[in-house]
């Protein structure tokens, strides 16, 4: 099954446009980026269901782009590139890509590879436990068993996501939960709290942090989270 949305990052304009057209005809909504910085500057760069990435890119190179995406998202990443060699493959897979195809490659093969990655991701998620919030121990338990120590503010923020049950929590709701008002200092305090929480999770586990921002709205925890 193909994803609903896909970001295609490739500076070979002609190739990318034809691949984009092919995938669009298969029912995928494709956004095309010829520069990795254009993707990162997008209002919601981590909202896509799948990423197809070239390696030789203006802006952030492909390997580092994969690392950035993987810190924010657990969705499929396919590399389609003309760069060859065992070191290239090792660096790409080590950065967090799911599969590598060497150009030239047929569009049908790209679609098959995307479907294969999607199948693996679906199979892996079936037995994957939820994130769990240990209120008494004041810890967040990751699916891989890692434990993230939480501050009082972290715990208050995560309680919002437990109650939201996968829905977006507005910035106003979060500020009220933290006991803040609606002034600029309160907004800065919320941003700092979210940043510190993300960093704590990133340091504790290699699993992609499901806490993501929704442009001009708030934040969402894109994974099941259950209280203990």
- For position 165, which CATH number holds? 1.10.10.10
* One domain for residues 143 and 66: no
Q: Give strand ranges (E) for the chain.
A: 5-9, 29-33, 50-53, 76-81, 99-102, 131-134, 139-141, 147-149, 169-170, 211-214, 218-221, 225-227
Go through 72-108 and write b for each residue having 16 or more CB atoms within 10 A of its CB, e for each that does not.
Answer: bbbbbbbbbbebeeeebeebbeebbbbbbbeeeeebe
Q: What share of the chain is helix, strand, coil (3-state, %, to 5)?
A: 45, 20, 35
- For residue 189, the enclosing domain spans 131-227
Domain boundary among 108, 126, 144: 126
Tokens in use for 35? 């520069």
pTM for the complete prediction? 0.63
* One domain for residues 71 and 102: yes
Q: Are 120 and 88 in contact (CB under 8 A)?
A: no
Residue-level pLDDT, tens digit, the chain, 228 residues: 899 999 999 999 999 999 999 999 999 999 999 999 999 999 889 889 899 999 999 999 999 999 999 888 878 999 999 888 778 888 999 898 999 999 999 999 999 999 999 887 655 554 456 899 999 899 999 887 888 999 999 999 999 999 998 899 999 889 888 876 555 455 678 888 999 999 999 888 878 888 888 877 899 998 889 888
Domain boundary among 76, 105, 126: 126
Tokens in use for 134? 């240990």
Among 216, 126, 227, 224, which Cα is nearest to 167's? 224
Tokens in use for 188? 């800065």
Number of domains making up the chain:
2
């Amino acid at each position: 099954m193909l994803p609903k949305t896909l970001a295609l990052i490739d500076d070979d304009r002609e190739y990318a446009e034809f691949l984009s057209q092919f995938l669009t005809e298969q029912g995928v909504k494709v956004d095309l980026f010829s520069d990795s910085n254009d993707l990162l500057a997008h209002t919601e760069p981590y909202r896509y269901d799948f990423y197809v990435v070239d390696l030789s890119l203006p802006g952030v190179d492909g390997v580092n782009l994969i690392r950035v995406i993987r810190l924010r998202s657990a969705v499929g990443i396919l590399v389609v590139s003309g760069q060859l060699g065992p070191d290239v493959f090792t660096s790409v897979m080590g950065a967090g890509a799911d599969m590598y195809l060497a150009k030239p490659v047929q569009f049908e093969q790209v679609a098959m590879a995307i479907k294969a990655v999607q199948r693996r991701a679906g199979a892996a998620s079936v037995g994957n436990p939820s994130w769990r919030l240990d209120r008494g121990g004041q810890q967040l338990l990751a699916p891989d068993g890692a434990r993230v120590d939480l501050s009082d503010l972290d715990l208050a923020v995560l309680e919002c996501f437990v109650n939201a049950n996968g829905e977006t929590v507005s910035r106003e709701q979060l500020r009220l939960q933290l006991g803040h008002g609606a002034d600029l200092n309160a907004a800065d305090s919320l941003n700092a709290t979210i940043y510190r929480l993300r960093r704590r999770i990133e340091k504790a586990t290699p699993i992609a942090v499901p806490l993501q921002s929704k442009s001009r709205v708030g934040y969402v925890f894109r994974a099941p989270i259950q209280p203990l």
